[in-house]
Amino acid sequence: MTVADERTAEAAAGTEPPAEPSRYSLRHPKSRIAWIRPAVWAPLLVMLALLALLWQWGADELPYLLPPLGKIGTSLTAEFGYYVDNALVTLGEAAAGLGMGFAAAFVLAVLTSELPLLRRAVMPIAVVLNVTPLVAIAPALVVAFGFGPLPKLVIAALICFFPILINTAAGLRSVPRQVLQVYRTIDAGRVELLWYVRIPHALPFLFAALRIVLPLSIIGAVVAEMSASGSTRGLGTVISVASSMNQLPVVYASILVLAVMGVLLLLAVTLVERRVLHWHDSTHD
């Protein structure tokens, strides 16, 4: 409920009609312009510099703990294509798994919101599995499905499935009662209610779930790659192979690439989220 309100308020702020930009679009231009002021970016920059110094000091004192930043940099630039290739493999696994988990969770969420019996059967299990660390079954999945991409997809899909299911189901069921009453008095059908009211109402919940599961899907893919000792591709494989050969710069370069990938994905979701909620606002005429 509160999530939805915040999101819709955000959407409202971001999707103002162009006629009156001054009144409703204060938030975005302001937050963009704000980055010009040193008071906004300087603290972060100082903090990063301090951390880098600390890192370098640690690398000098304990060479087996941390690699020097310079070496990470050289590894990244020298073998940039290698990192990108492996990042794309991991990204592909995570994205495909996320897509599968998303589709299945969405369908099941709609079904449980419409069929109380199914809801009572499924949701308690979903809640328990949602708090279970599902990455732990990665080794078992490797045993079951081998070293190919399949166990990676399955683990990413499984990890994404439950948060999406629970959030979407909550969104579909949280339409305010008075809204439902208005549409009940005109005898709106189930499908009409789903399409025009419940699903759009659940969209902010769905995006909240996406923000949660995006990093999880990458974790799932990486852990599955690490568990499958016979894998040849993916950043998880790169990390486990490099660790076993004491190539710390490669390990940390891969981790850096994974972090950048996560940030980019989150950025993509934010953009899509704005677009989608904007779409709902602007389709009139």
Nearest approach in angstroms of CB 104 to another protein is 25
Q: Cβ of 234: how many Cβ atoms within 10 Å?
A: 28
Q: Give the start-end residues of each E strand in 115-261.
A: none
Residue span 172-211 as binding mask against another protein, x where in contact by CB under 8 A, dash where not: ----x-xx-xxxxxxxxx--x---xx--xx-x--------
Nearest approach in angstroms of CB 130 to another protein is 27
Helices (H) and strands (E) in the chain, counts: 14, 0
Q: Segment contacting another protein (CB under 8 A): 3-11, 70-78, 130-138, 235-243? A: 3-11
Here the tokens at position 11 are 């959407």
Contact 100, 213 (CB under 8 A): no
Could you give the CA distance from residue 137 to residue 126 in angstroms, rounded to a whole number?
Answer: 16
Residue 11 near another protein by CB under 8 A: yes
Residue span 75-114 as binding mask against another protein, x where in contact by CB under 8 A, dash where not: ----------------------------------------
- Residue of 6, 17, 42, 260 interacting with another protein (CB under 8 A): 17
> Quick one: which of 222, 221, 218 has its CA closest to 265?
218
Closer Cβ to another protein, 6 or 60, answer by number: 6
> Quick one: which of 218, 217, 237 has its CA closest to 227?
237
Closer Cβ to another protein, 114 or 281, answer by number: 281
DSSP state of 197: I
Nearest approach in angstroms of CB 177 to another protein is 9
Q: Which residues contact 256 (CB under 8 A, 6 or more apart)?
A: 72, 76
- Residue of 120, 190, 275, 280 interacting with another protein (CB under 8 A): 280
Here the tokens at position 167 are 């959030």
Phi/psi-derived region of residue 234, left when phi > 0, alpha when psi is between -120 and 50, beta in every other case: left
* Binding positions for another protein, 23-42, rule CB under 8 A: 24
Q: Cβ of 50: how many Cβ atoms within 10 Å?
A: 10
Residue 281 near another protein by CB under 8 A: yes
Q: Segment contacting another protein (CB under 8 A): 11-19, 72-80, 125-133, 211-219? A: 11-19
* # of chain residues touching another protein (CB under 8 A): 31
Note the residues at the interface with another protein (CB under 8 A).
8-9, 11-12, 15-17, 24, 176, 178-179, 181-189, 192, 196-197, 200-201, 203, 277, 280-281, 283-284
